Amino acid sequence: MLHKQDINGIKWIDGVRLAEKDIIKVLEKHNIHELDLKACLEWNQRARVDVYDDYIFIVFHFPKYNSVGKVYESNEFNIFLSEKFLITFRDFPFSKINHIFKKYSEIKTNSNIEELKITTPYIVYELIQSMVEKSFDMLKAIRLDIKELEAKVFEGWSGSLVKDIMVKKRSIVLLRHIFKPQIMVSRQLQSIMGKLYSDEIKAYFEEWEDKLNQIMSEVDILWERIDSVEDALKSMVDIKTNFTVKVLTIFSAFFLPLTLITSFYGMNIDFPSNDLGFIYSLLWLSIVFMLIIYLFLRRNGKF
C-alpha cells in the first residue's frame, strides 16, 4: 500500500508492506544509496542513523501487538529524510501515522500553509511522537495485565497461568530489545538536527530521548513486577507440593505397619490371621503410628 502527497513543496511517500519492486522503484527515483536500498529490502535491520550529503537514512522500531498470538512484534520503520522529500516504509499499518498523513492532506487546503513552517524533520518528530505515545498506552496495558496475573496467582495456579506469565515475560524482553538501542539513535539525531537544521528542531528530538528513557524505566519496573509474579507462583506451587508430600507421608505412616506384617506373611510364618482381635489391633496400631507421625510434623512446624 503506497500513499503520496505534496505538502508546501515537500513530497511525502508512505509505504506499508510494499513489494520489493515498488520499494526499488521509489528509492531509485530519489537517488538513494545502494546500501540503503538493500537495507530496506532486508527487514530486521538494527536501529541506526546514516547521514549523506543530500539525505538522512533512519531505522528505528516500535512494538506492534499481535492479537492472534497475544504477543508484541517489532514494527520496523525506514525513513529517508531531506529538505524536499520524506519517504517512510514500515512493516505494519499504524492508525496514528495514517491520521498524521490525513492531517497534512487536509492542511493543503489551508490558504496560509506557507505560514505553518512545515519541515520534514518536524513531520518525522510527529511520527515518532505518535508512536511513543502509543507505546506509553501499551505499557499501561501490560501493567494492568500483570496486576491481573498477580490476582490469579493467589486465586490458584494452572498451566495456562504459567503460559501467560511466560508470554508476558517474552513481551517485556522484546520491549527491552526494541527501545534500548533507540536511545543512542535519538542522541545521534539530536546532534544531526542541530547541525543541519535548527536548535528548535533539536529540542524536539531531545524530548524524544527523555521519553525513551521514561519508557526504559517503565520496562525495567514491569520486568521486576513480572519477575515477582513468577516468584510468587513458584512459592505457591512449592507450598502446595509440600502439603501434598505431607499428606502422602501421613498415609504412608498408616500403611507402614500393614506392609511390615504382610512381609512376614511372605516368609511362611504362622500368624493368627483368623483372629479378629489381631486384625483390629493391627489397624489401631497403624492409626496410632499415623497419629505419631502427624504430631511429630505438627510439633516441628512442618504441617
Retrieve residue 228's grid coordinates: 515477582
For residue 282, the model assigns a pLDDT of: 65
Indicate the range of 18-32, 153-167, 266-280 predicted with least confidence. 266-280
The helix/strand/coil state of 176 is: helix
Beta strand 85-90 with 10-16: parallel, antiparallel or unpaired? parallel
Mean pLDDT of the chain: 80
Residue 115: is its pLDDT beyond 50?
Answer: no
* Confidence band, pLDDT 50/70/90 cuts, at residue 266: low
- Using an 8 Å Cβ cutoff, are 36 and 133 in contact? no
How much of the chain, in percent, has pLDDT values that exceed 90? 6
Degrees, nearest 5: CA angle 186-192-197: 120
The closest of 219, 211, 216, 203 to 133, measured between CA atoms, is: 211
Retrieve residue 122's grid coordinates: 518536524
For residue 167, the model assigns a pLDDT of: 86
The helix/strand/coil state of 26 is: helix
- Site of grid cell 529540542: 203
Q: Whole-angstrom Cα distance, residue 295 to residue 75? A: 61
Q: Whole-angstrom Cα distance, residue 244 to residue 242? A: 5
Looking at 155-223, which runs of residues are DSSP E strands? none
Instruction: Tell me the mean pLDDT in the region 189-215.
Output: 80
The helix/strand/coil state of 50 is: strand
Residue ranges and CATH numbers for the domains of the chain are 2-237 (3.30.460.20), 238-299 (no CATH)
Give the global pTM: 0.71
Retrieve residue 21's grid coordinates: 519492486
Residue 26: is its pLDDT beyond 70?
Answer: yes
User: Who wins on pLDDT, 111 or 259?
Assistant: 259
- 87 membership: H or E segment, kind and range: strand 85-90
User: Who wins on pLDDT, 125 or 117?
Assistant: 125
Beta strand 71-81 with 85-90: parallel, antiparallel or unpaired? antiparallel
For residue 250, the model assigns a pLDDT of: 66
The helix/strand/coil state of 271 is: coil
Q: Sort 127 into a burial class: Cβ within 10 Å, 0-12 / 13-18 / 19+.
A: buried
The helix/strand/coil state of 142 is: helix
The helix/strand/coil state of 265 is: helix
- The model's pLDDT over 45-69, given as tens digits with 9 standing for 90+, comes to 788 888 888 889 999 888 888 777 7
- Using an 8 Å Cβ cutoff, are 135 and 222 in contact? no
Instruction: Tell me the mean pLDDT in the region 211-216.
Output: 89
- The model's pLDDT over 125-184, given as tens digits with 9 standing for 90+, comes to 888 888 888 888 889 989 998 888 888 887 776 667 888 888 888 888 888 888 888 888
User: Who wins on pLDDT, 197 or 270?
Assistant: 197
Q: How is residue 113 annotated by DSSP?
A: G
